[in-house]
């Protein structure tokens, strides 16, 4: 068993839900988060409110599942990201679980 974590901008929340379904991952959780990117200082200086850092509304999804489902999910995410016209790809990581109850 492993922990898979996927992050996405809010715009892609429904797409991620479909990807989890298509990967046959039925049990998962999600949470709303704010996503940030470090901006170059020149860009920050030209911003009227240069002291503010604006976050993007994002979502975090996670599930405890097996390698087979994770591999399918990663393939689906890779395919999804190749078709994007934005600079906000879905991100995913896998964390091994040493012990659980």
| pLDDT value at 65 more than 70 | yes
pLDDT band, residue 34 (cuts 50/70/90): confident
d(CA 68, CA 73): 9
Say what the pLDDT of residue 56 is: 77
Q: Where are the domains of the chain?
A: 2-38+55-96
Cβ neighbors of 97 (< 8 A, separation 6 or more) are 1, 2, 3, 64
| pLDDT value at 64 more than 70 | yes
pLDDT in tens, 46-59: 554 545 556 778 99
| pLDDT value at 45 more than 70 | no
pTM of the model: 0.81
Could you give the 3-state DSSP secondary structure of residue 59? strand
CATH of domain 2-38+55-96: 3.30.70.120
């Amino acid at each position: 068993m492993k922990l898979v974590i996927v992050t996405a901008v809010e715009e892609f929340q429904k797409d991620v839900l479909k990807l989890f379904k298509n990967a046959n991952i039925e049990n998962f959780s999600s949470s709303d988060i704010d996503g940030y990117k470090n901006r170059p200082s020149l860009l920050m200086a030209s911003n009227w409110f240069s002291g503010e850092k604006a976050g993007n509304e994002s979502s975090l999804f996670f599930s405890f599942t097996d390698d087979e489902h994770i591999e399918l999910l990663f393939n689906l995410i890779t395919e999804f990201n190749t078709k994007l016209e934005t600079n906000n790809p879905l991100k995913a990581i896998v964390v091994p679980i040493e012990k659980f109850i």
